[in-house]
């Protein structure tokens, strides 16, 4: 099955990124977006994208690391965003109210700054939301109108319709294969076809039957098959739809 998509991975956190890329190719994963969570990983994402045409980069600072986001940090992200056409998004950014690594007001300020940078650069924004859906939606409504928004590791289970009305892309990770993930599985079955993306969030959230092991982009077929079953369509049909959605979400031209 050709043209599978991993719209969110952290290649720099894998034990052996080179082998992971080889295995992804063997499993027909055509594109991988490797995502920065701080300045160092953002630099590494840009470097990875420069060395492999299947890899694209996103640059940003994770909400858990928002405590010390400075103007200089944002300037560096802007520089990285403009350094290569392989940089296709700003993020990941957003809000994480599950952990207490960073005060909420500082997370919100950093999130808004990332949204502003995405608007300035004309790039989509990759959003992390954990137990913060109400505030995330409010800030996106206030600051991200008209922008391409990718809700990574989609967790706004009760907000599928609201997200669809706003045209937000909803990206599903390996936890959709977990038998107890009832709310996520129900939400994933309701996402409009044109707004669905697939991701691994490697090295996290390995899908069944790889659960408990390091996740990698090569595991996308398990996620795709689960989603196809939930939606009552073939994996091939869903793969084609996700491939199209991926290009729309990240403002990419189709290969000629």
DSSP 202: B
Would you state the structure tokens that stand for residue 197, as one six-digit string? 């993306």
Domains and CATH numbers, the chain: 4-249 (3.20.20.140)
**Contact yes or no for 211/178 (Cβ under 8 A):** yes
Going by DSSP bridges, is the β-strand pair 125-130/149-151 parallel, antiparallel, or unpaired?
parallel
pLDDT band at 225 (very low <50, low <70, confident <90, very high): very high
pLDDT averaged over the chain?
Answer: 96
- 2 pLDDT exceeds 90? no
- Provide the b/e sequence for 149-186 (b: ≥16 CB within 10 Å): bbbbbbbbbebbeebbebebbbbbbbbbbeeeeeebbe
Say what the pLDDT of residue 1 is: 61
What pTM was computed for the model?
A: 0.97
DSSP 1: -
Say what the pLDDT of residue 256 is: 57
pLDDT tens, 110-148?
Answer: 999 999 999 999 999 999 999 999 999 999 999 999 999
Q: Distance between CA atoms of 158 and 211, rounded to whole angstroms?
A: 26
- 68 pLDDT exceeds 90? no
């Amino acid at each position: 099955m050709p043209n599978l998509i991993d719209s969110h991975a952290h290649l720099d956190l894998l034990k052996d990124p080179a082998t992971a890329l080889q295995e992804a190719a063997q499993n027909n994963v055509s594109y991988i977006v490797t995502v920065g969570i701080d300045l160092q990983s953002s630099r590494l994402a840009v470097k990875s994208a420069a060395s492999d045409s299947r890899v694209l980069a996103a640059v940003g600072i994770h909400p858990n690391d928002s405590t010390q986001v400075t103007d200089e940090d944002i300037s560096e992200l802007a520089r990285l965003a403009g350094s290569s056409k392989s940089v296709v998004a700003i993020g990941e950014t957003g809000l994480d109210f599950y952990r207490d690594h960073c005060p909420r007001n500082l997370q919100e300020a950093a999130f808004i700054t990332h949204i502003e940078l995405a608007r300035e650069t004309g790039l989509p924004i990759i959003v992390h939301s954990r137990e913060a859906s109400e505030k995330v939606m409010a800030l996106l409504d206030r600051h991200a109108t008209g922008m391409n928004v990718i809700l990574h590791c989609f967790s706004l289970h009760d907000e599928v319709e609201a997200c669809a009305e706003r045209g937000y892309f909803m990206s599903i990770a390996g936890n959709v294969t977990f038998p107890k993930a009832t709310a996520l599985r129900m939400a994933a079955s309701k996402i409009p076809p044109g707004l669905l993306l697939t991701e691994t969030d490697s090295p996290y959230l390995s899908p069944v039957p790889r659960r408990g092991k390091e996740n990698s982009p090569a595991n996308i077929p398990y996620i795709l098959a689960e989603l196809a079953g939930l939606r009552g369509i073939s994996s091939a049909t869903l793969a084609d739809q996700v491939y199209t959605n991926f290009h729309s979400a990240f403002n990419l031209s189709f290969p000629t």
